[in-house]
Chains A and B, each alone.
Chain A
Amino acid sequence: MAAVTHLAQYLVSGLAAGSLYALVALGVVLLYRSSRVLNFAHGDIATLGTFVAFTLIARKLPFSLAVIGGLAAAALVGALFFFLVLRPAKEASLLGKIVLTIGLALLLGGTVQVVWGTETLVFPFPLSELRVYRLGQVVISEMNLGTIVIGIVLMTLLYVLVQGTKVGLAMRAVAQRVDAAQALGIPARRIYALTWGLAGALGGAAGVLLAPVVYLDPFMMLDPFLKGFAAAVMGGMDSLPGAVLGGFLLGIAENVFAGYVSFKFKTTMAFAVIILVLLLRPEGMLGRVYHRRV
């Protein structure tokens, strides 16, 4: 009996972690689909947004406004990076663009440290981490429940945006073939900037949901970013549902493994699973298989 309870408990915390990984993964996938760039600054953009939200809350702004402000800041940084850095450096190869995002990651991370300091802070949130609901022996905190629900709502919204609106259609068109899209009158640059902004805001949302649980500091996104990135790859870099699936699977697998086998090799296990998945399906679980020709 105890074993079942424990498994259920690990599943619950796995779902909460998984929904965060999924949000991060969605941002990574959005960018990769449109511009083939792996964004190593994704975590740092998210952290910056969270810190802006934190400052706005401290300035006595209503919580919802503060969070919107934070997400807007993250979106702005993403879009600005596209306009000020990536577009002028269009000569750069894909790997060059990746290094540009590495530079951005250092720059943003450093800025957050200089502006806000490096000590751990408490991020106020309307939902409590200590108030818990009990289902038999299984415990779930208000915050965990909120994270899962909000995460799923955001994922659905994004899916509707990409699959069901004109902007989404334009995004997909640009992702598929930029010159053809431009020929049809789609403003590709603005769509790219929008994609960068959207990805930034998604990351920011993950940050705001993560900070109340694990506390706020400039490095809190380090591990979730890596895991989100890995989840995106596992799901398939060009598939939004794949990112969500990858995120949840990774979260659950990690928690169950830590609970039953070993804490120490938690991350190693996560990557072992991913490599295994990739060996079976080199394009990820839901990624599209391209047939290459010479």
Chain B
Amino acid sequence: MGRIPQIVVSSNLLERYQDDLYLVKGAPGWAAVVFLLVGLASLPFLLPRFGLGYLLFIAILMAANVIVAVGLNMLVGFTGLISLGHAGFVAIGAYASGLLAAKLGLPWYVAWIGAAAITAGFGFVVGLPALRLTGPYLAIATLGFGIAVYQVLVNWTALSGGRTGLPVQQLSLGIAGLTPTQQLYYVAVGAAVLLSWIGYNLARSHIGRAFAALRDSDIAAEVTGVNLLWHKTLAFGISAAYAGVAGAIVAQALRHLEPQSFTFLESITYFAMIVIGGLGTVSGAIIGAVILTLLPHYLSGLKQWLPVVYGASIILMMMVEPLGLYGRWIRIKLYFKAWPL
């Protein structure tokens, strides 16, 4: 793990310690939050006006990716562990949510919570090797997990439908005025906002601090009283639960699950998202997820040139901002704060 520099920006002078503890600071902060939430809530009505209704679907995929990235960042960025098998967790979440709803007849929100819980369980188990393994060794172990999930889903036909696939029941909020896509949009974006908010808070809690201590030196952390077994597996568990929720969203977006959506290459993409966005910050994960969801879509008209341009953009972004695009954003903000100086 490389060091992740902490860039501290003081917007205005804080006079009390309590001021520093607020996640949202002052009136401008609240204004931004309200603006953001209202904006997100009105998109499903604004976009179709401009003939951009299809963007809602992309926003749904984006919400799923944001959730995976925020969760993965908890593991990689905060705790300093690595996972190249996150597509496996997303797949488990997707199939679990679909199966719980179809086989047990649970309402969708129960199925989603169940999916998150099941995925978290897998996360704890996969976290166990992390107690002994680091770096490339852990990378290969998690990669193996991802591939194993894929092969089990392909071949355990009775459970997953195998290559024929698994149809997923459409969720419904029971609001008559909304199309299914709009309803899913609200659920997905709502989940993304909620889980990001939890992410911001978790990072500042004692758990987040314990994770960071593990990242910087696990032996030192253990000496100071951080329980290694619990916190390493917890990081995997939380990260996996996030991926599970994202999987449930993907399941709803596709409404027909097939193992092909959850390959090793997806795991690599999730990993690239958090590094490109900036490790160790929730906002960085969000930025990375947004960019790597949009990029291939906007490039899809390039046909066979897509991977060339996509790969070159990734190299370029990493060369311009080796610590992630989040750093660039901080610099832009500093510039405007100091403007007109």
Q: In the complex, is A directly touching B at CB under 8 Å?
A: yes
Q: Which residues of A contact B (CB under 8 A)?
A: 32, 36, 38, 40, 85, 88-96, 98-100, 102-111, 113-114, 118, 226, 229-230, 233-234, 237, 264-265, 267-268, 270-272, 274-275, 278-279, 282-284, 292-294
- Contact status B276-A99, CB under 8 Å: yes
How many Å from the CB of A219 to the closest CB on chain B? 11
Q: Shortest Cβ distance from B30 into chain A, in angstroms?
A: 34
Residues of chain B contacted by A283 (CB below 8 angstroms): 137
Query: Do A282 and B132 have beta carbons less than 8 Å apart?
Result: yes
Taking CB atoms, residues of chain A closer than 8 Å to B2 are: 92-96
Q: Does the CB pair B143–A271 fall under 8 Å?
A: yes
A34 CB to nearest chain B CB (Å): 14
Is residue B1 contacting chain A, with contact meaning CB distance below 8 A?
yes
Q: How far is the CA of A91 from the CA of B307 in the complex (A)?
A: 25
Q: Which residues of A contact B67 (CB under 8 A)?
A: none
Chain B: CB-nearest residue to A113? B304
Chain B, 295-341, CB within 8 A of any chain A CB: 304-315, 318-319, 322-324
Contact of A271 among B133, B144, B223, B271 (CB under 8 A): B144
The chain B residue sitting closest to A236, CB to CB, is: B137
Contacts A109-B307, A294-B219, A294-B220 given: A278-B1 contact, CB under 8 Å? no
| A232 CB → nearest B CB, Å | 8
Contact status A103-B147, CB under 8 Å:
no
Chain B residues within 8 Å of A, Cβ to Cβ: 1-4, 76, 82, 129, 132-137, 139-141, 143-145, 147-148, 151-152, 154-155, 217, 219-220, 223, 264, 268, 271-272, 275-276, 279, 304-315, 318-319, 322-324
Known A91-B323, A93-B323, A268-B152; contact A103-B140, beta-carbon cutoff 8 A: no
Candidates B4, B155, B223, B272; contact of A264 at CB < 8 Å: B155
Given known contacts A85-B315, A96-B323, A271-B148, is B141 in contact with A110 (CB within 8 Å)?
A: no
10 closest A-B pairs by CB: A93-B2, A271-B144, A106-B311, A110-B307, A107-B311, A103-B314, A92-B322, A110-B308, A103-B315, A91-B322
Tell me the complex Cα distance, A293–B3, Å: 18
Smallest beta-carbon distance B221→chain A, Å: 9
Q: Which residues does chain B contribute within 8 Å of A229, judged by CB atoms? A: 140
Question: How distant is the Cα of A252 from the Cα of B323 in the complex, in angstroms?
Answer: 42
Residue contact A85 to B319, C-beta cutoff 8 Å: yes
Cβ-defined contact, B275 with A278, below 8 A: no
Is the Cβ of A268 less than 8 Å from the Cβ of B275? no
Do A102 and B323 touch (CB < 8 A)?
Answer: no
- Chain B residues near A268: list those with CB within 8 A: 144, 147-148, 151-152
Contacts of B268 in A (CB 8 A): 40, 102
- Could you tell me the distance between the alpha carbons of A106 and B152 in the complex, rounded to whole angstroms? 27
Q: How far is the CB of B73 from chain A (nearest CB, A)?
A: 11
Q: Are A230 and B155 in contact (CB under 8 A)?
A: no
Pair B136/A32 contact, Cβ less than 8 Å: yes
Whether A38 pairs with B275 at a CB distance below 8 angstroms is no
CB pair A272 B148 closer than 8 Å: yes
23 A–B contacts from the bound complex (CB under 8 Å): A40-B268, A91-B323, A92-B322, A95-B1, A95-B76, A95-B82, A96-B323, A99-B276, A100-B314, A102-B272, A102-B314, A107-B311, A109-B307, A110-B307, A233-B140, A264-B151, A267-B151, A271-B140, A274-B140, A278-B141, A282-B134, A283-B137, A284-B137
